[in-house]
Amino acid sequence: MAISDFDLVFFGGSGDLAMRKLLPAMYARDVAHDLPASARIICVGREDLSQEAFLHMIETNSKPHIKENVDEGAWRDFLARITWVQLDAGNPASYGALADALRPDTGMSRSTDTGLTRVYYLATPPALFARICDNLAKAGLVTPASRVVLEKPLGRDLESAKQINADVGRVFAESQIYRIDHYLGKETVQNLLALRFGNILFEPLWRREWISDVQITIAEKLGVGNRLGYYDTSGALRDMLQNHLLQLLCIVAMEPPASISPDAVRDAKLQVLRSLKRFTPTTLSQNIVRGQYRAGYIDGQQVPGYREEPNAPQHSKTETFVAMKAEIDTWRWAGVPFYLRTGKRMADRLAEIVVRFKQIPHSIFNQPTSSFQPNSLVIRLQPDEGLSMNLMAKTPGDSMRLKQAELELDFREQFKSPRMEAYERLLLDVLRGQLTLFMRGDELEAAWEWVEPILDHWEQDDTTPAPYSSGTWGPAAASALIGRDGLQWREEALPED
């Protein structure tokens, strides 16, 4: 679907996200000829910068983040779309300058594909969302065709998430609100939808009768970097699990939606979130492990522990790792454990979903059933994109010995067409008005509602997160968590090279 003309306003326009992700993503789509010739990008922020100084800032802070070779002519054309507007988000008087920079919002007319869409992207701390929305409305800058994009963190608990929904909802209708979870923009996540609902093969098996367990891992090699101020009040549960991991879990576990339309998909995800088994203080201590990285080695380089990071509180209890066993109380999933795990400074950068099927019921070969590796489907999001299906096959030669073999699908190899970064995909969807890959307000609240008892418990708990050395797969307690069920995390089960 072609994109009609737009004014895209980046609040936090000189910030880290705009420089590292948003502007490079817009450049990539510009070079790919996805943007209408007259479309414009308006970056707003508090700094007193001339247009020239801002363009210079983009040159030094944003251009290096463009992955492909930059075509200088295309880059100049891209810069010509950009306007800097100085604005104090909390001060209604300063919205006049923004009004002057915008063209009239005529909305998108689907019949003619003409008209102008206005999008406000709030890449700012959430504390500013309410004021920005109110001030935009007061300045008469919101029409029924305007859209607003909200960046995480979308709250730090249920109450604050509800407050964000209420504040933004005073000015924008739900159909105008795009809550970003950049994991939903990743190519493989959409491929998971294709895999589940574009093939007849999996759906009959996609249930408790045939699946033994599911593992979802997002591991990072990076530490907290220069985000300690934010991270220390957040931690892995809020930063990664409440959003990215739960969204992946929803896509794996949801009932088949009737269509790919936003509400069909979001209703199905909501049902999963509402069916997650609630933790009690007892089940929570048994089924959740939190950890914090200590010094160690990443790629042969020594790295400091979390508490030695610049400005880190000496006795910080913030978790940089969390692993848990979750369960979904539905007919489809009752009794199937979903093991979720995420951490910083881990042995590898890896994001993957492992669906393990049940053991064969009986061996007809001269091998005991226990020597058969159960089939598994591994869906890789990072570092490469693909999936592998592990099957038992006969080894070549005289004897009838069976061994695990891998059926591999590498999306990059299979489809040579260029990839899109998550932010490119999501920005295009916002500009086209497609909400499927964005969270609805009730989903956001349901995810917080489920996570909140864990946060409350940790708040009152005197124990500290289990330490783990940087460059490992997390604390030993995480292996024990899954080991109690007679299972292993995938990398623990892999044969040594």
CA-CA distances (angstroms) from residue 376 to 240, 356, 389, 484?
25, 4, 6, 20
Q: Which is nearer to ligand BG6, 187 or 449 (CB)?
A: 187
Burial class of residue 95, CB neighbours in 10 A (0-12, 13-18, 19+)? buried
Instruction: Kindly report the backbone phi and psi dihedral angles of residue 11, in degrees, each rounded to the nearest multiple of 5, phi listed first.
Output: -75, 140
Token readout for 306 is 């979390």
- By beta-carbon proximity to ligand BG6, the closer residue of 237 and 377 is 237
Of 186, 247, 176, 116, nearest to 434 by C-alpha is 176
Q: Binding marks (x or -) toward ligand BG6, 215..234, rule CB under 6 A?
A: -----x--------------
Q: How far is the CB of 150 from ligand BG6 (least distance, A)?
A: 13
Considering the complex, what minimum distance in angstroms separates the CB of residue 230 from ligand BG6?
Answer: 8
Nearer to ligand BG6, 40 or 380 (CB): 380
Residue numbers 379-438 binding ligand BG6 by CB under 6 A: 382
Ranges of beta strands (E only) in 315-398 are: 321-326, 338-343, 350-357, 376-382, 386-394
| 350-369 residues near ligand BG6, rule: CB under 6 A | 351
User: Residues in contact with ligand BG6, total (CB under 6 A)?
Assistant: 5
CB 321 within 8 A of CB 475: yes
* Smallest separation (angstroms) from ligand BG6 to the CB of 351: 6
Provide φ and ψ at 38, rounded to 5°: -95, 5
Phi and psi dihedrals of 320, rounded to 5? -110, 5
Select from 5, 34, 239, 352 the one that contacts ligand BG6 (CB under 6 A). 239
Q: Segment 146-185, which members bind ligand BG6 (CB under 6 A)?
A: 152
Active-site residue among 33, 56, 65, 244? 244
Q: Among this protein's residues, is 65 annotated catalytic?
A: no
Q: Do 10 and 44 touch, CB atoms closer than 8 A?
A: yes
Q: What SS3 class is residue 78?
A: helix
| CB nearer to ligand BG6: pick between 239 and 424 | 239
Rounded to an integer, what distance in angstroms lies between the CA atom of residue 35 and that of residue 88?
29
Of 344 and 356, CB closest to ligand BG6: 344
The Cα angle at residue 208 between residues 282 and 240, in degrees rounded to 5:
55
The residues with which 121 forms a beta bridge, in sequence order, are 10, 149
Min dist. Cβ of residue 473 to ligand BG6 (A): 17
For residues 368-387, which are near ligand BG6 according to CB under 6 A? 382
**Which residue is closest to ligand BG6 by CB?**
239
Site for ligand BG6 in 289-318 (CB under 6 A): none
Q: Shortest approach of ligand BG6 to residue 256 CB, angstroms?
A: 27
Q: How far apart are CA 375 and CA 237, in angstroms?
A: 30
Minimum CB distance to ligand BG6, residue 137 (Å): 29
- Give yes or no for a contact between 15 and 45, defined as CB atoms under 8 angstroms apart: yes
Shortest distance in whole angstroms from residue 132 CB to ligand BG6: 21
Q: Which residues bind ligand BG6 (CB under 6 A)?
A: 152, 220, 239, 351, 382
Active site residues: 244
